[in-house]
Amino acid sequence: MQASIDFQLIWGAPLKAEIFSIGTELLMGELTDTNAAWIAGRLPPLGIQLQWVSIIGDDLDMLSEAFIRGMERSDIIFTTGGLGPTQDDLTREAVAKAVGETPTVQEEVVRDLRDYFSGRGTEMPSHNIKQAHLIPSAQFIPNPNGTAPGWWTERDGKIVVNMPGPPGEIHPMWENQVAPRLRELINDEVTITRNVKTMGMSEGAIDEIVGEFFGRENPYLGIYSKADGIHLRVIARAKDEATARLMIEPVEVAIHERLGSYIWGYDDETPEVAVGLALKEKGLTLATMETCTGGYLGNSITDVPESAGYFKGGLVAYSRESMIAAGVPAQVIDSHGEVSQETAMAMAQTVRRELKADYGIGIAGTASPTERDPNGSASQVRRAAGSASDRRSMGTAYVAIVGPGGTKEMELRVPPRRITIKRRISNNALIELKKLIAAG
């Protein structure tokens, strides 16, 4: 097997868990709950089995009832939201009511809050004092990124972890405070996970190829469809690390032998991180020109902090005029159309040349219910009874990659939803670039 095995190792027995996303604004559709999915993705490597996800409004009775029910059926409850200073922030009060304890003000936390506001040149509002309340069964979870400390409550063998709602606060709190503490829950089992990421083969096709490994409890193999391809997650539990490794390794070896050419990454790797590492390792640079992805490709690349060292820049050429202004030959566009493999290749070659990069990526496609003729005029696609070619044009894109490792051309057809088009086409382009660099 070519890929190195970099297991994620966590001490701690599997726990049954549930997640509460708290806030009436979530029920009204004013905000989209992204926290639950974010937390859920981090539980399997910890050996925690998620059983329930609930959205609950800002109502004390409903919240306390949910906590009582949750502590009866689960080992641990994770919550987000409801820790602010306003009257409708009721998470603390609901936990206190559920366990039958009375919160009291912790003066040291009041001082910390006053210092927090003072450092920003203002006085602490009196309502923020409620964020300093604590019950006897709980401990504060520090929150250096906001005014709302979390709660870690242990009662009758059950755990409740309350975290703030803003992702900018919950993410560092989880990584720095919650996850390390969960790993300290000692038991006599080791849980190891391995996530193998593929692109280019359908979920059903992969199921046929490695189907013999599904349905087993230990090691467990799960299959997940993601924006960056199909993921295969192997989870093994044993009394010691060596035994768990022996259980998981044959499954991964089989996956790699059967799907090797489709595998692009492992564990927490993202397409942009994988490409960045490949470019840095070989001292190469990249430039992009895109249409239907609307800058999503460039945004993904620059999400990596070190991207300035290898990304020369990106252009969003959303019309024939902007393509020509960027240097794409008008003859290519007029002869083959804005959405064509030839135009995508011309875009890749042009941006590579103009920005003096080692690799160039060109993406030519349509994210709208229109198609363009070779002269650049647009005609409305019939939504309900359009021809097969009309329906295919929506979500169709051509990708071209050119560089010292060779060239790659692709025709992609994805579901005609804007965000799906942007994500999948951008991810495909990055993953194929990584393969091209490796082959080169």
Q: Give the pLDDT score at 238.
A: 85
Q: Print the domain residue range for 55.
A: 13-183
How confident is residue 50, by pLDDT bands cut at 50, 70 and 90? very high
Lowest mean pLDDT among 40-54, 287-301, 327-341: 40-54
Domain-embedded: residue 77: yes
CA distance 250 to 252: 5
Q: Give the pLDDT score at 44.
A: 74
- 295 Rama class: left (phi>0) / alpha (psi -120 to 50) / beta: left
Percent of the chain with pLDDT over 70: 90
Alpha-carbon distances, residue 327 vs 250, 292, 320, 338 (angstroms): 51, 18, 11, 14
pLDDT higher than 90, residue 244: no
202 and 179 together in one domain:
no
How confident is residue 268, by pLDDT bands cut at 50, 70 and 90? confident
How confident is residue 369, by pLDDT bands cut at 50, 70 and 90? low
Q: Give the pLDDT score at 249.
A: 94
262 and 282 together in one domain:
no
Q: Give the pLDDT score at 217.
A: 84
pLDDT higher than 50, residue 392: no
The tokens describing 380, both together, are: 């409305």
Q: What is the CATH number of the domain that holds 124?
A: 3.40.980.10
Q: Give the pLDDT score at 230.
A: 94
Give the model confidence (pLDDT) of 151-177 as tens digits.
Answer: 999 999 999 999 999 999 999 999 999
pTM: 0.66
What's the alpha-carbon Rg for the chain, to the nearest Å?
Answer: 26
pLDDT higher than 70, residue 352: yes
- Amino acid residing at 433: L
Contacts of 310 (CB under 8 A, 6+ apart): 276, 279, 280, 284, 285, 286
pLDDT higher than 50, residue 372: no
pLDDT top residue among 368 and 118:
118
226 and 112 together in one domain:
no
**Mean pLDDT confidence for 307-323:** 95
Neighbouring CB atoms inside 10 A of 389's CB total: 10
Q: 414 exposed, middle or buried (CB, 10 Å; 0-12, 13-18, 19+)? A: buried
- With contact defined as beta carbons under 8 Å apart, do 425 and 397 qualify? yes
Give the model confidence (pLDDT) of 414-428 as tens digits.
Answer: 888 888 899 999 999
pLDDT higher than 50, residue 51: yes
How confident is residue 359, by pLDDT bands cut at 50, 70 and 90? very high
333 and 197 together in one domain:
no
pLDDT higher than 50, residue 10: no
Domain-embedded: residue 31: yes
pLDDT top residue among 343 and 413:
343
Q: What is the CATH number of the domain that holds 248?
A: 3.30.70.2860
**Mean pLDDT confidence for 391-406:** 84
Q: Give the pLDDT score at 390.
A: 38
Which residue from 281, 150, 254, 277 is spatially nearest to 196, judged by alpha carbons? 254
The tokens describing 239, both together, are: 């009394």
Farthest CA pair distance, the chain: 77
pLDDT higher than 80, residue 11: no
Which residue from 54, 261, 64, 82 is spatially nearest to 165, judged by alpha carbons? 82
CA distance 130 to 397: 53
pLDDT higher than 50, residue 386: no
Contacts of 435 (CB under 8 A, 6+ apart): 264, 408
169 and 217 together in one domain:
no
Give the model confidence (pLDDT) of 176-210 as tens digits.
Answer: 999 999 988 756 567 788 999 999 899 999 999 99
Q: Give the pLDDT score at 368.
A: 63
Contacts of 8 (CB under 8 A, 6+ apart): 45, 192, 193, 194, 267
307 and 432 together in one domain:
yes
pLDDT higher than 90, residue 75: yes
- With contact defined as beta carbons under 8 Å apart, do 81 and 164 qualify? yes
Domain-embedded: residue 8: no
- With contact defined as beta carbons under 8 Å apart, do 32 and 69 qualify? no
Q: What is the mean pLDDT of the chain?
A: 88
Percent of the chain with pLDDT over 90: 67
Kindly give the interhelix angle for 203-210 and 241-259, rounded to the nearest 10 degrees: 120
Select, from the ranges 11-15, 27-31, 206-210, 223-227, the one with the highest average predicted confidence (pLDDT): 206-210
37 and 111 together in one domain:
yes
136 and 164 together in one domain:
yes
**Mean pLDDT confidence for 260-277:** 92
194 and 179 together in one domain:
no
Q: Please report which helix (H) or strand (E) contains residue 210, including its range.
A: helix 203-210
Q: What is the CATH number of the domain that holds 367?
A: 3.90.950.20
